[in-house]
Chain A
Amino acid sequence: MDIFLQQIINGLVQGSIYALVALGYTMVYGIMGLINFAHGEVVMIGTLVTITVAGTLIKAGMPVALAALAGLTVSVLSCMALGWSLERIAYRPLRNAPRLTPLITAIGMSIVLQNLAMIVWGRNYMTFPPLLPKINFEFAGAHFTLIQVIIVLISGATMAGLLFLIYRTKLGMAMRATSQNPAVASLMGVNINRVIAAAFVIGSALGAVAGVMVGTYYEIAHYQMGFMLGLKAFTAAVLGGIGNLAGAMLGGVLLGIIEALGAGYIGDLTGGFLGSHYQDIFAFIVLIVVLMFKPSGLFGEKTGDRA
């Protein structure tokens, strides 16, 4: 039983990370119907910026908590700037182009960012400075750490914050309007350029937060870390119904737990025929089945009501 609980905790934490990243995908998709494939790279840059800033400050003798805060702030700000420039350079000029075109620039931007990061930060794995005290908890034989608790809490809080933003603020209303019909929204006096830029900026800020969480959790970072993470988060967003915030959250957590249980039990269930390297099969079988019966994902609505 303690093993089962441990696997659930593993999955929950992993899933919360997916969810945090997935929120960024879903936010942009919800408003523009565009899959921002460079989002994983934004997460990566957020992590690497934090390493540089916090690492340097800690070395310079600043208290860890203060350095962590400074690192987080700089990373969020630079990712916001990055998100804004991405939209401005790669997506805005193509807003009226066929849907495949911005998809390709997105993939292009992702490759460009990866290579830029490789030039700036090098090819080596980087160790993330320990920003949080290592506190271990044990509950019914399962181990977990403070950072794991924080990850789950932050992803929950972020989703709640976003829901509040979308449904309770003026900007949110403008976003929903833009999502439904950009042309009409702009006729009603909504500055859609600003709204879309805001979506990118907010999504990227979330990406930076996710990056810091991932970095603190695994304590390693690498210029290619964004790729797989982005892919999994994208899957999570689709599973939950892309464009839906609660769906991204649920999809992420579900994907994480399925993966953990898959890795933990697939060998026993199949009598050793399939090993733990088939854990992704579980996740994708679930994805396929869900999409067969609910093509718009678990929480996705049939109509074009996005965000």
Chain B
Amino acid sequence: MQAKLSVVALSVVAAFALSACGQKEEPKPVAAPAPAAKPEVVVKIGHVAPMTGPQAHLGKDNENGARLAIEDLNAQALEIGGAKVKFELIGEDDQADPKQGSIVAQKLVDAKVNGVIGHLNSGTTIPASKLYFDAGIPQISGSATNPKYTQQGFKTAFRVMANDVQQGKVLGEFAAKQGVKTVAIVDDRTAYGQGLADEFKKAAEAAGLKVVATEYTNDKATDFKAILTKIKSTKAELVFYGGMDAQGGPMVKQMKELGIKAKFLGGDGVCTPEFMKLGGEASEGQFCSLPGMPLEKLAKGPEFKDRFTKKFNAEIQLYAPYLYDAVMVMADSMKRANSVESAKYLPEVGKTKYDGVTALIEFDELGDLKGGAISLYQYKGGKLEYVETLGGTPLEAAKAEVKEAVAEVKDAAKAVAGAATTAGAEAVKAGAEAVKGAAEATKAAVEKK
């Protein structure tokens, strides 16, 4: 009976999926060479993320990021290979499920897309990357951080975000700096959560911390009391969670309910406004990390944030800027190759040097982002407050510091000017000292670089 039941359920699901396919069928690229107008080529970019299920909010965020990029590109009215190009986003839903991820990947391959942006989760990205590799379709993920994705030897796989080896290492070192001796680790058994937790464990142990408990949950769970009770019995001083916000938020809340006083630390998956909404006041004062630099500190960050919020009437959840960059990198490679054919522009992707919203994007030989930095944040008063940036190329970090120092100099100079007009020489002297101090800071930052 049970077997029959699941067969029935499967066929029902399949029927639904099929009907969905039917509706979403995209028109074939129209290459209608009208005598007067230039030929127009439709460039189909596939985008895959969970659009339903517990991570649907992140999926939507990703898609919005990609959509914004597509619209910007179309507004530029690009010409590639002598033809006008029109970019088109083909959005697919993988439900954060590796099986579904491969199904929709095959669908995109069959639809002969020019490139793929995504998927969101490492667990879906890794199996799908093989299909794209076999079909020779370039794939750029803006959020799959599991190192394995780019280590399979697929020359079609790229990511515009630091991977979990870098992130786990920084998190482990950061935990050690918090003055705790014992940590408990929980992960959600997905490729992302498990990968990040493993890297964290390595780094934490290397930094002299003792891992007193390793517990597991899944990416659909809502109740963590049983594993948290066990963690409580080990008296761990810090709980690390490798997983997403939909579990992390309730988890931190349940920690409080059980009277667990340990600190909470998580990776990019929990570094979202959603986490604070779900965790309530229990999230206050906890820490999380995000690959890259905070948007506010990036040259194009604030502008992107403004445009995004205005356009979609929604806060940026997490990866939207990375997705935007991923699409832009792909279009940029097409421009340089002067072709939208996968085979022709693929070699150019690896040679990318693109100044994106999130970073200066260059790929190493594996397709990983060169020198990805990791930033740490603290949840404070319902906001993510920037703490510090670790790792990455010294260049990036130094650049930011120089920028800050320059701003300080400017402020000080302003103060000097203000002081000079209003008060006497004493004020000027104080102002001059401030300038000197700031200048020294600049120097120090540059030297560090």
Contacts and interface: CB of A to CB of B under 8 A. Distances in A.
Contact of A123 (B5, B56, B225): B56
A224 B12 contact: no
A55 B354 CA distance: 46
Interface string A240-261: 0000000000000000000111
A276 B215 contact: yes
A228 B220 contact: yes
Contact of B230 (A125, A224, A263): A263
B223 A218 contact: yes
Nearest to B217: A277
Contacts of A264: 226-227, 229-230
Contacts of A7: 226, 229-230
Interface in B276-324: 277-278, 280
Contacts of B4: 100
Interface stretch (B154-162, B249-257, B421-429): B249-257
A136 B280 CA distance: 17
Interface string B47-83: 0000111101101100000000000000000000000
B222 interface: yes
Interface in B203-248: 214-218, 220, 222-223, 225-227, 229-230, 232-233, 246
Nearest to B213: A267
Contacts of A279: 226
A187 B220 CA distance: 48
Contacts of B189: 277
Residue among B9, B13, B226, B278 with max Cβ neighbours from chain A (10 Å): B226
B258 interface: yes
Nearest to A279: B226
Interface stretch (A80-88, A103-111, A166-174): A103-111
B249 A224 contact: no
Contacts of B277: 125, 127
B229 A14 contact: no
B249 A260 contact: no
Contacts of A124: 56-57, 274
Interface in B1-59: 4-5, 8-9, 12-13, 16, 51-54, 56-57, 59
Interface residues of A, number: 39
A218 B222 contact: yes
B179 interface: no
A185 interface: no
Contacts of B53: 224
Contacts of B60: 123
B16 A11 contact: no
B216 A275 contact: yes
A122 to B, nearest CB: 8
Nearest to B5: A103
A296 interface: no
A80 B216 CA distance: 38
Contacts of A228: 220
Contacts of A127: 277-278, 280
A103 B9 CA distance: 10
Contact of B12 (A6, A111, A260, A267): A111
B257 A222 contact: no
A183 interface: no
Nearest to B222: A218
Interface of A: 3, 6-7, 10-11, 14, 100, 103-104, 107-108, 111, 118, 123-125, 127, 136, 138, 143, 145, 218-220, 222, 224-225, 228, 259-264, 267, 275-277, 279
17 contacts: A6-B258, A14-B223, A103-B8, A104-B8, A107-B12, A123-B51, A125-B274, A136-B259, A218-B250, A219-B250, A219-B253, A219-B278, A224-B220, A259-B226, A267-B230, A276-B227, A277-B216
